[in-house]
Amino acid sequence: MKNQNMPKRVFAPAAEDAAQAKKAISTPQTEHPAYKLAFQDEKFLLREDLRPVRFQLELLKPELLLDEAKIGSTFVMYGSARIPAPGVMSGHENPNVAKSLEAKSHYYDEARALAQTVSQVPPDADGTRQFVICSGGGPSIMEAANRGASDVGAESIGLNIVLPHEQAPNQYVTPGLSFQFHYFALRKMHFLLRARAVAVFPGGFGTFDEMFELLTLIQTGKIKAIPVILFGKSFWGRVVNFEALVEEGVISARDLDLIHLVETAEEAWAIVQKFYETR
């Protein structure tokens, strides 16, 4: 007997059985929800006690698709969803706040320029791609990141989250790499599982949340050090007094070495290159 005659599987694929199940003869038994295949029963999957299963699915789906896309590492870019692109009015009702947001619009250009540079890193010999741009998939700085990758014909990732207000991925996210999450915790994991550098632009609670969690993971040794680059010296100097944290004794002076303050894409990319050249 030749091995090539051996069947690869003997059970029908799940998709085949799922299609067959939909053709079931209508009877009181087959019409009852109890008869549905478990993975076709949305009401069952959304039960409170199925939360651990949903956690697993939300971790597994992006992981499998990113593996299949041969994405070895990412360059993550965090930042505000409110900073307008240059020449665009912020639309904020407070003129002083609007002026402040518009004054930060040059960071849109810096995020876009950095993404353009990063996205031109050649793939490995086996086709595995490194430093693939990854953003939260939304507008403003996130849009600039995905747009920069698109400018040079590169794919990029968007990790959206379901929110109470209507939203959609920005138009520059690669459709096949556009993911939506229900759980913030799982989205956070996917931001960092492949991250080998992170750029943080001026932003609000969400940006602070992601940045400080990352710094905590590095500080405590839960993950290896990676470049953490903060754009906007005046912004960060005003909203976070890092030196005061050292003076108060709640962090060590060496913890400040975890961050690099820059103003331009060129500075940021030079820091990343130096970081990996020295390793």
- Are 226 and 260 in contact by the 8 Å Cβ rule? The answer is no
First to last CA, the chain: 53
Higher pLDDT, 165 or 258: 258
Number of residues that this document lists for the chain: 279
pLDDT grade for 261, boundaries at 50, 70 and 90: very high
- Are 128 and 70 in contact by the 8 Å Cβ rule? The answer is yes
Question: Domain 51-277: which CATH class?
Answer: alpha beta
Kindly state the percentage of the chain with pLDDT values over 90: 86
pLDDT grade for 232, boundaries at 50, 70 and 90: very high
CA angle 94–236–218, rounded 5-degree value: 135
Question: pLDDT tens across 161-199, in order?
Answer: 999 987 789 999 999 999 999 999 999 999 999 999 999
DSSP letter, residue 182: S
**CA distances (Å), origin 255, targets 1, 12, 228:** 66, 56, 12
What pLDDT shows up at residue 202? 98
pLDDT grade for 10, boundaries at 50, 70 and 90: confident
Residue 275 CA to residue 279 CA, distance in Å, equals: 7
pLDDT grade for 278, boundaries at 50, 70 and 90: confident
Residue 149 CA to residue 258 CA, distance in Å, equals: 26
pLDDT grade for 1, boundaries at 50, 70 and 90: low
Mean pLDDT of the chain: 95
Question: pLDDT tens across 115-125, in order?
Answer: 999 999 999 99
Q: Does 3 have pLDDT greater than 90?
A: no
